[in-house]
Each structure stands twice: as C-alpha cells, then as structure tokens.
Structure 1
Amino acid sequence: MSEDTSPFAATASAMGYLYQLRIALLRCTDLLESGAGWTVALEASDDIECVHNGKTGLWQLKHRAEGTRITDGTADLWKSLRVWASGVTAAVIDLDSAELFLLTTAEAPPSSAAAYLGPVHHRRDPSAAHRLLTEARSAARTRQQKKTAANPDAETKKSDLYGAWDKLPEPEQLRLLERVQILHNAEDIHATGTRLQGRAAIAVGHQYAVPFLERLEGWFFQRAIAQMGTAAGPITGTEFDEAFSSRRNQFRPDNLPIDDDVIDLLGETGLHTDKTFVRQLGLACIGSARVRIAVREWLRASTQRDRWTNGNLLLPGEIASYERRLTEEWEVRFEAMRDELGDQAAEEAMTAAAKALYRWVEQEARIPIRRGCEEPFITTGSFHMLADDLEVGWHPQYAARLMTLLEPAGSR
C-alpha cells in the first residue's frame, strides 16, 4: 500500500483488493470450462496463481484510473518485473512452466515495451521490448546519479525498483520477457462484475443472475480470505465446481436458495420475549432451551423469506399459498386435539396436548415451500411467524388467552 494515507489512496487500495478477488473469481469460471483439475490461490507466489495442465500462471493486477498509460518507465511495469525477476533468482519461478501475466486497466502506447509484450497470437517482439526496457533503465540510472549528491537515500530507494532485474543476466532477462504477457486496457472492476453477471445468467438465467452471483461471490470471498490466512489451501477446481453447482441448483424452479449466513443466525431469547409466538410457547409451558431454539428458527426463517422477497425470487402469492398449506396442516391436528380434550378439560390436560402439538411442529412437520427446498427451519420458523400473528397456536385456548394478555390496559 502506498505511503499516501489520504481517503482517496485508501479507496484506490480497497478497489484494488476487490478487483483482485473479482478477477480471481472470473479466472475460476474460465478454468471451470476445461474441467476441475486446477487450483487458484491469491497472494501466494503472486497476486493470483493458477495451476493448470502442468503450467503455473502468475498474475499481477493493476487497477488504474481511466486515461492511465503504461509506458517503458512506468512503476507498475517495473514492479511486476521486480517480482518475477526475484522469483527467478530465488528459483521460486520456473520459466519452463511459468506463464507471467500483467493485467492492467492502463493503456499501452503503440511501439512501447508493454505493447511488444502483448498476449500470445498478437504482435509480439520480446527483443524489442528488452531494448526499450534497457533504455528506460539506463535513463532511470542517469536520473538517480544526478540526485545522489543532493539526496543519497533517493538512490537506495529507487534502486529497489530495478535491483532484481539488474541481477539477471541479459539472456535470463530475455527468457523472462518471452514468458510475459501484458494484457492492457483490461476491463475495470465494474466491467468485470458485468462479465461475471453474464456468466451467472448463462448458469441460472437473467432473472436470477444477480442474486446467484451475490451468493457465489460471498462464498468465494470468504474462501479466499481463509486461503490467504493460511487456514486453508488453494481453491481447487473440484471445490469450486461443487460450490458453483450447489448454488446454481438452488435457483432451479423447484428450489430456493438458503444462505450460509442465515444458517449461522442464533437469535437471543431476551430480545424477543415480547413476541406473541414466544408467549404462545409460554402458554404451552415449553422449556427455555426449546424457546431459544424457536427464536433461532423464527429469526432464520423470517430473514431468509425477506431475502427471497427482496430478491424477487418468489412467485406471486407463493408465501400466501405456503402459509395456507401450513395453516391447514395445523388446523387438522388442532381441531382433533380439541375434540379429544372436550369442553371440560383440566389445565394439565390442555398443557399436555399443547406440548404434543408443538412437538409435531418441532420434530415432524416438514412441509417444504418448494419440493427442493427442504431446510427444516423454513417450516418451523414459518409456523412461529404464523403463531406471532395468531393464525395458529398450540394451547387449545390460545386465542382467548392471548387476546386478554395483549389487550391494552386502558381498554379492559
């Protein structure tokens, strides 16, 4: 990161990190087309490292403002050469199997070193690029020498940019440049996002492309953080294929996505004691541990249903239809319970019956909103949402008792 601590520098740095993640994700979708025998790692040997078919692709990324040019003396170019030259010297980079990429949003002027090092199958001339870089290095050395007397530290600081390159013999410099591909005028972070959205549309259709990509990016970003923190190895093709496929399957017509962070929600009973569904559990004398579970299931279901609604993932009237199914399943059991109890049942008998009915909700009621969406908390949590609206209940006299409890004091 630059020594510049202004908000603009911080924003550019953050944009660069996000760009790195998006380009890595785009590379994964590219590689997936060839199968699953590959790996991708971030901040390993380079910004991005891709291993595939016996080749190691090392990627340097530069996200620059519009109008930026990558000339023969540009620091971005020399910083990349420094990284690669250092890797060659340390025997970390094997030029027989390495492919070196500099992906930059900057423009390479015609007949510049960067232009001569363009992608394969384009006009390339590594020898001409080496000549131009040698001239640029000589000019930089002359400038450094002129500044040495006035500021000796400037020589040391500036030489760091070129030192690793200078240590390579000329044949090795040429050999390195033959492996370099400079991809200039690259799409910026926003255009890269649009390309990813296009890949998502191919997988799930344009209607669901955005929510699908949001979930895939969420998984990928967390996985990349784990990999960069050494908590996990590189992202493998098999792993990415499974993550991609499982999320794509959640957008089939018979399914709905269940978000990982929603599954992690726990809920705190103390924050929801005034909820009607919690009071319903109190009428049935449900223990505190089970109340805590109920709050968790309610929170997960309500959060997930809100996301489906906000993401336009539900069909018109689908929630109403689902709640009707739940209510009708409950009604059959509730009315059977009341018939068995009769009108003169003791409180103990009514409480026992309420517990039995609620036990059905906890352990047996598995009514998916769609055939492929079988997460249990959707059913149990939705029952609690209905209980909160007094559409269903567990105690035989839940409606009358809760109406009394919830009635404002001044209206009694």
Structure 2
Amino acid sequence: MATKDDQFEATASALGYLYQFAKALQLCIEEWVGGLDWSVAVEAADDIEKHAGSLTELLQLKQRADGVRLTDSAPDLWKTLRIWSEAAKAGRVHLPETNLFLMTTAQLPAGSAGYYLEPKTSGHRDEDKALALLRSARQASKNEQLEKAFKAFDELEAEGAVGQAALLSRIEVIGGAPRIDDVREKMLGHAALAVGHELAKPFLTRLEGWFYDRVIEQMRAPGGAPITGEEFDQIFSDLRHQFGPNNLPIDPDIAEREPGPAEAADKTFVRQLDLIGVGSERIGLAVRDYVRAFEQRSRWSDDKLLRVGELGRYERKLIEEWQARFADMREDLGPESTEEEMRREAKLIYRWVDREARAQIRSGLEEVFIPKGSYHMLADELRVGWHPDFTARLAALLEPAGAR
C-alpha cells in the first residue's frame, strides 16, 4: 500500500517532469522569436539540451517548495556538479563550447557558492570564492549520499583532467527561477502576441499538446531527433494559421479518432441510414464522421472559439442546401412511388451529403468530417433526412416514453 511519502515523491517527480517540459517549450518559443538556427532536446545530455550554431547549453532544472535555499552542501547542487563533472571528465561535454545552467526555484543565500556563480549581470559573480566555498563544504560534509558527487568533483583535479575552476567558469546558477505557473503565464503572453488575448489559452493548450507528444517521441527513441527551429516554426505557424479569422483548429486527437459503430448504434441518424438500406460499412464511416464532428464542435464551443450565432447560421446553411434537393426528390417521386423507388432516390440524396456537400463553418476549414458529421447531427435531430417519409417513420423515436 502506498504511503504518504510515496505519494509525495510521485507527485514531486511528476511535477518535476511537467516543469521540465514547460521550460523546454518556453525556451523553444523564445529561441523561435530570434531565429531558427537551433535545436532543443529533453532528457538527452541533460534535463534540457540546446544547440545554437557551435554553442551547446545544458540546463538542470530544480523546482522546490517555497522557502527552500540552495546552500553549499545542498544535494541539488552537488548532484548537478556530479553530472557535469563526470560528463566533462569523460569528454561528453566540450567545456569551451558549452554553457551549463542550474536553474532552481530555491533561493540563493547571499555569500553562498550559488550566489557567486550567478550570471555576470548580477554584479557579484566570483568563481574563485565559489570554488573555495565548494571545497570547504565538501570537506565538512558527512553526507554519505553525496560521496559519489564529491569524488567526481575531486577527480577534476587529477593530472590531465579539466580542473574544477574550468568547470565552474562555464556554470551559471539561477536562483528564484519562475515556477511552473509563472512559466505558463509567460508563454500565454507570447501566445497572446501571436493570436490575441482571447485565443491565447486554447492556442497554448494545443501547442503544449503537440510539444509534449513530440518530446515523448524524442525520449522513447535512442538518440531521438531533437526539435529543430525549422520544425517548431512550421508547427507554430500552422497552428497560428488555424486560429485565423477564417479558420478554426482541427485537433489531431479528434481528427484521428476511430470510433466503433457501437458507439452510436442507438442514434437516430443511424436509424435514418437503416431506413434507406445503407450498408454496415458505410454506417461505420458515418458514425466516425458524426463522432469527430460532434467532439470537435463541442471543443470549439468549450474553448469559446465560435462567434455568437455562428453554429446556428452554419446549420441553417446546411439545412437549406438539403431542402432544395429533398424537395426535388419528393416532387420527382410523386405520391404513387414504391418503397424501392423511394429508397433509391433517398440514397442519391445521402450520396450527395457523403461525397459532395462540403460547406464549412469557416472558409479556411478543409476537413470533410465537419460538414458530413454536421449533417448526421442534424439527421439525429430529424432536422434533415434521406427517406421521403423520414419524419413520420422516425418521429416516434423522439417522443417521451409516457406519450407513446
């Protein structure tokens, strides 16, 4: 049975990964503003690895509770030094072309090693003082869990090794870093510049969804390809286009949804198709279009992406296009038509919906499941139909049980 400590560790670990992903996405957005000659990877050589030209940046991220301080003997500090010391010794990091960042939400006490390793812009960077403090802390510490870290740092001073001072010259410690909520708030500001304040949140939510899926893909494959500036530019620009005034975003999880026919077997629109003899395979395709359109339209509504009255105007347009064809069919059939003739003509109406009806809510949309699925939504409410007598034959399905 999981203990409270286990639950705390799991929560902290999950939050750490979310923080890591959020910072990596923020880094991509900020790099994108300046150009496209860069790449970013997560959990590759470090928490975050960035390349720009010949320069490499490795970031270690630590999100900690309020009030935590990064002292000279803090495990966060020494575990990070161990990672970088071992990488430098093994030649996995070429220090002259690598900047190392320890970014923590913890505070840096004045006069601490972390304090003296803050960026030069702080006005108090002093690598010699930082080194002296680290050596003193290493000698005074009795923490057996840090022995491997101390050893790795010591070995930098071995003959032919890179040296502790050389490593510290490439390290910047950033304390009091923005927490995950602050990081997201800053990204919302960037999103607002791209699509406006009203659309910023749904825009960022979709960008995050793509980014997290992409990072997981990169992490799963050994040596997985990093996210490049060109790739990010394409995704960001395409998403921004989807939020334009003549467009709406089509969400991949919905557009790729493959529901089974059973998901809508009891729906009225399925009864409409049964009524005219549509086969099971085509009914399955109709269910897919219905589910996708229903879910996408619902998400647009939930995200407040639709204008006032927009769906109503769209459905009126669909109904009026159907009305003309349906009236023609009934006129051509006449009152003496057989059931076989009515089914044949009804299938032609439905074939038009399935293959030709492509009116969209906005002109920039192209996904055909929107008009096709929207017609099935209307058919489900008996606002349109295919069989000449669909209203009389199916209206009973919508009657309350007590009225029958």
Q: Same fold (TM over 0.5)?
A: yes
CA distance in 2, matches of 1:409, 1:210: 43
AA aligned opposite 1:319: L
Q: Distance in 1 between matches of 2:401 and 2:38?
A: 68
The offset of 1:411, in angstroms, is 5.1
Establish whether residue 168 from structure 1 lines up as the match of residue 156 from structure 2. Answer: yes
Instruction: Give the letter for the 1:71 counterpart.
Output: T
The alignment's TM-score, normalised by the length of structure 1, stands at 0.93
2:90 is the counterpart of 1:76: no
Work out whether 1:98 is the aligned partner of 2:90: no
**Alignment partner, residue 292 of structure 1:** 284
For residues 182-221 of structure 1, the aligned pairs below 5 Å read 182-221=173-212
Which residue number corresponds to residue 139 of structure 1? 140
1:17 aligns with 17
Secondary structure of 1:60 counterpart: strand
Partner-residue secondary structure (3-state), 1:6: helix
Q: Which residue of 1 aligns with 2:41?
A: 41
Deviations 1:95-122 (A, max 9, x none): 0110100010001111211111112433
Deviation at 1:191, TM superposition (A): 0.7
- Matching residue of 2:109: 109
Does the 8 Å CA contact 2:38/2:228 hold for their aligned counterparts? yes
User: C-alpha separation between the residues in 2 aligned to 1:409 and 1:256?
Assistant: 39
Q: Considering only aligned residues, what root-mean-square deviation do their CA atoms show, in Å?
A: 1.7
Structure 1 position 393 matched with structure 2 position 385:
yes
Deviation by residue 1:304-350 (Cα, 9 ceiling, x = unmatched) = 11111111111111000000000001111111111111121111111
Q: Is the Cα–Cα contact under 8 Å of residues 268 and 397 in structure 2 kept in the other structure?
A: no
SS at match of 1:89: helix
**Structure 1 CA distance for aligned equivalents of residues 117 and 111 of structure 2:** 10
Q: Aligned partners of 2:36, 2:308: CA distance in 1, in Å?
A: 39
Task: Determine the C-alpha separation between the residues in 2 that align with 1:312 and 1:160.
Answer: 54
- Residues 287 and 127 of structure 1: CA distance in aligned 2, closer, same or farther (over 3 Å): same
User: What CA distance in whole angstroms lies between the structure 2 residues aligned with 1:129 and 1:80?
Assistant: 15
Distance 1:83 1:251 in 2: 43
2:32 match: 32
**Partner SS, residue 181 of structure 1:** strand
SS of 1:333's equivalent in the other structure is helix
Question: Aligned in 2, Cα 1:359/1:86: closer, same or farther, shift over 3 Å?
Answer: same
Structure 2 residue ranges without an equivalent (≥5) = none
In the alignment, which residue of structure 2 is the partner of 1:242?
234
1:135: how far off? 0.8
Q: Secondary structure at the match of 1:316?
A: coil
- Deviation, 1:403, is 2.2
User: 2:259 and 2:107 mapped to 1: Cα distance?
Assistant: 51
Superposed structure 1 runs of 4+ greater than 2 Å apart: 3-6, 120-123, 403-412
- Residue 342 in 1 paired to residue 342 in 2? no
Cα 1:353–1:173 shift into 2, 3 Å: same
1:137 maps to amino acid = R
**One-letter amino acid of the counterpart of residue 387, structure 2:** H
Query: Which deviates more, 307-316 or 401-410?
Result: 401-410
What displacement does 1:249 show? Answer: 1.1
Could you tell me whether the CA contact under 8 Å between 2:64 and 2:105 is conserved in 1? Answer: yes
Equivalence for 1:316: 308
Distance 1:235 1:288 in 2: 43
What is the match of residue 369 of structure 1? 361
- Total equivalences in the alignment: 397
- Residue 356 (1) aligns with residue 348 (2): yes
Which of 366, 384, 403 pairs up with 2:395? 403
Give the secondary-structure state (helix, strand or coil) at the position aligned to 2:163: helix
CA shift, 1:406, in A, is: 5.3
Q: Deviations over 1:38-77 (max 9, x none)?
A: 1111111000000012111000000000111111111111
The amino acid that maps onto 1:133 is: L
Q: Note if 1:274 corresponds to 2:266.
A: yes
Q: Does 1:128 align with 2:129?
A: yes
**Which residue identity does 1:42 align to in structure 2?**
V
* Native 8 Å contact 2:358 2:368 kept in 1: yes
Change (3 A) 1:92 1:349: same
**Equivalence for 2:370:** 378
Using a 3 Å threshold, how does the CA distance of structure 1 residues 119 and 393 change in structure 2: closer, same or farther? same
Rounded to whole Å, the distance in 1 between the matches of 2:395 and 2:53 is 70
SS at match of 1:51: strand
Alpha-carbon distance in structure 2 between the residues aligned to 1:46 and 1:77: 15
